[in-house]
Amino acid sequence: MTSKYETHEHDVLIIGAGGAGLRAALEALNQGARVAVVCKSLLGKAHTVMAEGGLAAAMANVDKADGWKPHFRDTMRGGKLLNNWRMAQIHAQEAPDRVRELEQWGALFDRTPTGDILQRAFGGHTYKRLCHVGDRTGLEMIRTLQDRGVEMGFDVFMECTVTKLLKDGERVAGAFAYWRESGRFVTFKAKTVVIATGGIGKSWAVTSNSWECTGDGMALAYEAGAELLDMEFVQFHPTGMVWPPGVKGILVTEAVRGEGGILRNKVGERFMEKYDPKRMELSTRDVVARSIYTEVKEGRGSPHGGAFLDISHKPAEYVKKKLPSMYHQFKDLADVDITKVPMEVGPTCHYVMGGIRVDAETAESSIKGLFAAGEAAAGLHGANRLGGNSLSDLLVFGRRAGLAAAQYAKTASMPNLDAGQIEQSEREVLAPFERTEGENPYTVHHDLQETMQSLVGIFRVEEDLKKALVELDRLKARAGKVRVEGSRLFNSGWHLSRDLNCMLTVSQAATRAALARQESRGAHSRLDFPKTDEEVWGKKNNIIARKGDQMTLFEVPRSEMPDEIQQVLAEDK
Ligand SMILES: Cc1cc2nc3c(=O)[nH]c(=O)nc-3n(C[C@H](O)[C@H](O)[C@H](O)COP(=O)(O)OP(=O)(O)OC[C@H]3O[C@@H](n4cnc5c(N)ncnc54)[C@H](O)[C@@H]3O)c2cc1C
DSSP characters for 58-121? ---SS-TT--HHHHHHHHHHHTTT-S-HHHHHHHHHHHHHHHHHHHHTT----B-TTSSBPEE-
For 229, counting Cβ atoms within 10 Å of its Cβ (0-12 exposed, 13-18 middle, 19+ buried), the class is buried
- Rounded distance between C-alpha atoms, residue 558 and residue 437, angstroms: 48
| Closest ligand 1 atom, residue 45 Cα | 49
Ligand 1 centroid–CA 51 distance in Å is 8
| Closest ligand 1 atom, residue 351 Cα | 19
Average pLDDT over residues 532-547: 96
pLDDT, residue 246, reads 87
pLDDT in tens, 215-259: 999 999 999 999 999 999 999 999 999 988 889 999 999 899 999
pLDDT, residue 5, reads 87
Q: Write the single-letter amino acid at 302.
A: S
Edge-to-edge order in the sheet of strand 228-229: 377-378, 355-357, 228-229, 540-547, 550-557
Ligand 1 centroid–CA 564 distance in Å is 34
- Rounded distance between C-alpha atoms, residue 94 and residue 392, angstroms: 9
Position 115 pLDDT exceeds 60 = yes
| Three-state SS annotation for 229-242 | ECCCCEEEEEEEEC
Average pLDDT over residues 435-440: 93
**Residues annotated catalytic, as ranges:** 237, 257
> Is any atom of ligand 1 closer than 6 Å to the C-beta of 415?
no
Candidates 395, 363, 321; CA nearest to 105 is 395
pTM for this entry = 0.95
pLDDT in tens, 69-110: 999 999 999 999 999 999 999 999 999 999 999 999 999 999
Q: Is 545 left (phi over 0), alpha (psi -120 to 50) or beta?
A: beta
> Is any atom of ligand 1 closer than 6 Å to the C-beta of 258?
no
For residues 211 and 226, is the Cβ–Cβ distance under 8 A?
no
Average pLDDT over residues 401-417: 97
Candidates 79, 522, 461, 82; CA nearest to 287 is 522
Position 3 pLDDT exceeds 70 = no
Position 401 pLDDT exceeds 80 = yes
Q: Is the peptide bond before 441 cis (omega within 30 degrees of 0)?
A: no
Position 2 pLDDT exceeds 70 = no
| Three-state SS annotation for 69-86 | HHHHHHHHHHCCCCCCHH
Q: What percent of the chain has pLDDT over 70?
A: 99
Position 573 pLDDT exceeds 80 = no
- Rounded distance between C-alpha atoms, residue 325 and residue 335, angstroms: 14
Position 559 pLDDT exceeds 90 = no
| Closest ligand 1 atom, residue 39 Cα | 44
pLDDT tier, 1 (very low <50, low <70, confident <90, very high otherwise):
very low
Ligand 1 centroid–CA 232 distance in Å is 19
Position 346 pLDDT exceeds 60 = yes
| CA-closest residue to ligand 1 atom 12 | 390
Position 260 pLDDT exceeds 80 = yes
Position 152 pLDDT exceeds 80 = yes
Ligand 1 centroid–CA 136 distance in Å is 14
Average pLDDT over residues 178-201: 98
Edge-to-edge order in the sheet of strand 343-352: 234-241, 343-352, 307-310, 262-264
> Is any atom of ligand 1 closer than 6 Å to the C-beta of 196?
yes
> Is any atom of ligand 1 closer than 6 Å to the C-beta of 215?
no
**Residues making up the chain, counted from first to last:** 573
DSSP string, 368-433: BTEEE-GGGEESSSTTSPPTTHHHHHHHHHHHHHHHHHHHHHHHPPPPPPPHHHHHHHHHHHHHHH
Ligand 1 centroid–CA 210 distance in Å is 8
